[in-house]
Each structure stands twice: as C-alpha cells, then as structure tokens.
Amino acid sequence: MKTDIFGVHYDVTNYDEASTVIIKKAKSKTSFGVTALAVHGLIECYKNRDLKEKVNKIDLIVPDGQPVRWAMNSFYKTGLKDRVYGPTLTLEVLKKANENGLSVFLYGSKENTLRLFIKNINDWFPNIKIAGQHADRFRDATPEEDEADIAKINASGAHIVLVGRGCPRQEVWVSNHLGKVNAAMMAVGAAFDFHAGTLPQAPVWLQKNGLEWLFRLIQEPNRLWKRYLFTNSTFIMLFIKRKVGLN
C-alpha cells in the first residue's frame, strides 16, 4: 500500500516486510530501488518537483523518520508501530543477506568509512561477500565515469548495492540507475557512518520520540542548522494545513 505524504509515495511497511522484499529482488538480481526517506528528504521533494518525480520512481520508499510515520498514521490510519529507519533496515537486510550468502557492493562515502564499514560487515556477517566498493567523488560523474561505474557494479555480481551519498544525491543516483544496475539498490545515507563507527547514533529514547535531528544538530551544528530550521518548520506547517483541510 502506498500513501501520499506531501507528494511523496511512501510504502506502508515494516522492517521484516521491507527486508524480505529487498532480499527477494536481490536474489533474482532484479534492478530495484529503495530509499529510507526522513523529513529532510521529504521536504526537499516538496520544494523540488523534478526531485519528487525521481524519488517517486523508486520502488520502495520507507518512512525513515518518526514524524513521517506519525503523518502516515494520522492521515491514513496505517497503524504503523515504528518507522523504518535506514541504518536499522540496512542491518536487517545484511542479516538476511548473510543467511542467503549474498554479495554486497558499497557505493559512496569516504575511503576510510568504507574500509571500517567493510571490516564490520566481515566481522558481523561472515557469509556476505563484499563484491566491490567505490568511494564517492562528491560530484556528479561524467557520462563515461557513470558507464564505468555501472559496468563495474554489474560485473561484480553484487546482489545488493548500498548507496551512501547523502540525501538527496543518493536518491537521484538510485532513481537514475533503475534498469541499469542489476541489483537491489538501497539509499541509506548515514548508515555508512553509523555502522563504520565514524558517527555516533542518537540514543534510542531520542529516536523513539522523533528527536534524532536534535542529537545530529548538536553533533554537526554548522552543517545542519539550516536544514533542520527550515525542513522541520515546513513539515509542521504542511502537517497542520493538511489536518485542517487547507491542502
């Protein structure tokens, strides 16, 4: 079931259902896109029609943020008991990939983060094969570079491609590579840093109460203050307007 939250088509799902679908697509090497989209990504889509169209092409859009889940429950009575947090979904998928002996390609982030994340995957999930890796260029690839990336990923035989390029660059990448990359592609962003141990995660009680943004703001105030000031206030405004029937 899909729900429309301010123009983005979120799936009503949970960790087990989402990870099961992803593994099914991965095993058959079906080109399949996934994003765990929180409030920031949602508001970016609301402001940018082209981005919204690209994101809505992604096959599975899960409600990463608690406020998104609250909106889905409020507007559609979905009864979701929890969000589908990208870093946790990543671990659920890796757990099932380990059980099935699947291979994973890591695309994005920094060389050091990739190295640490791969070490942890090897330690935690020994049956997973690391098919390959490619650090982010932190710019758009040229057409030639993009073709080479696609060829490299497909030649690796990867079942799953974890994409950590930051929102919304990673969503655009996944959307643009549907039908080109023969794997399940997951835009999971901060999961790379969290599971590499290079960035601390918010305490569970903050996550449960939709306050993870506050923890991250304290960690990276110069980079994130504008994001949270404008995206959070815009989300609240849109939520209220919809509740009172103004949009």
Residue 103 lies in a domain: yes
* Cα→Cα distances 31→198, 200, 244, Å: 30, 32, 40
Residue 139 lies in a domain: yes
- Residue 144 is classified by DSSP as H
Domain holding 18, by residue range, is: 2-242
What pLDDT, in 10s, does the model give residues 19-44?
999 999 999 999 999 999 999 999 99
Provide the terminal-to-terminal Cα distance of the chain, rounded to the nearest Å.
22
What pLDDT, in 10s, does the model give residues 92-140?
999 999 999 999 999 999 999 999 999 999 999 999 999 999 999 999 9
pLDDT confidence of residue 90: 98
Residue of 38, 42, 58 lying closest to 7 (CA atoms): 42
Residue 181 lies in a domain: yes
Per the structure, the count of domains in the chain is 1
Please state the length of the chain.
247
Count of Cβ atoms closer than 10 Å to residue 65 Cβ: 24
The CA-CA-CA angle for residues 113, 123, 207, to 5°, reads 60
Tell me the two tokens of residue 52: 């919204």
Count of Cβ atoms closer than 10 Å to residue 158 Cβ: 27
Residue 247 lies in a domain: no
Task: Please state which of the ranges 79-83, 95-99, 126-130, 218-222 shows the lowest mean pLDDT.
Answer: 218-222
Q: Where are the alpha helices (DSSP H) in the chain?
A: 15-27, 39-47, 49-55, 66-76, 86-100, 111-124, 143-156, 169-176, 191-196, 204-208, 212-219, 221-243
Average pLDDT value for residue range 73-79: 97
Contact 19, 188 (CB under 8 A): no
What is the band of 208 on the pLDDT scale with cuts at 50, 70, 90? Answer: confident
